[in-house]
Amino acid sequence: MPPIRNLAFVVNDQKAGAPELAATLRVLASEAGVTVKSTSTFPIPLGFLKGQDACCVIGGDGTLLGVAREAAREQVPIIGINRGSLGFLTTFSADEARSQFSALLTGAFQVTYRTMLECSSGPGQQDLALNDVLIKEAVNSRIVRLEVWADDELVTDYYCDGLIFATPTGSTAYNLSAGGPLIHPGANVIAMTPICPHTLSNRSIIFREGVKLSIYNCNAESRLLVAMDGQRDLKVCADSPVEISVAAQLLPLAQRIGYSHFEVVRAKLKWSGGFAERTKS
């Protein structure tokens, strides 16, 4: 990749060690002649990433999710440094960041592009999600009845606690907890997973990239909540379906050279087996 000349830092000051690590990395960047700007404000200021070559996010996956929309719109690669717990998205550890940061500034990283979802719940109610869109009852834990259409074809109606629409990136988040499938991040698809459906045969469905999903509230007494990445809510307009599709924007995500998706999955999900690890010949 080209060298980084303009670098934005987004730092979650609530994560242990994040401010100190950010200070160290900012010094390294400045010594390398890189122009640096930094914020710990969430959501990040409008236009903060404009003109930047990369954005260094120091926090957890939730911190990165809060930057993803702006990074996708500006096509600024995110370098995620984990100071949280799981760290599926913030794949650099603090030690890796310290030891590899000078090389990263010279462009020694690769960029992968992650699918995002575009969701609309009525006029003026649109947003992007990197992980998932959740549709459920807004007020309490009542069951909802939702009718799902894929383009012009009825899929079915669901009696359930809600529906999760996940990207491949988000397949390891709420979707996984609800029994949904793991999806390789290179697949541009949407996974729909019902939460506690009242029909045992209701299972996850994988939809193709170009589909437009329309979700209708079939219970006039229910008020729906549409949550984007678990961080932002969309207002649901009366008589308007919730529409979900694969977004035109992709999120550029910086990863170390030689990054292995399944190595991360094995480590984070603590997969193990009875066979010794083999090296591909």
- What phi and psi values does residue 167 have, to the nearest 5 degrees? -80, 170
The one-letter amino acid code at 44 reads: I
Rounded-to-integer distance, Cα 182 and Cα 174, Å: 11
Catalytic residue (one of 13, 53, 61, 152): 61
Distance, CA of 170 to CA of 191 (rounded, Å): 9
CA distance 3 to 24: 19
What tokens appear for 202 in the block? 């209701």
3-class SS of residue 5: coil
Q: In this structure, what DSSP letter does residue 6 have? A: E
Active site residue 61: yes
Q: Is 51 left (phi over 0), alpha (psi -120 to 50) or beta?
A: left
Residue 278, helix vs strand vs coil = coil
Q: Catalytic site residues? A: 61
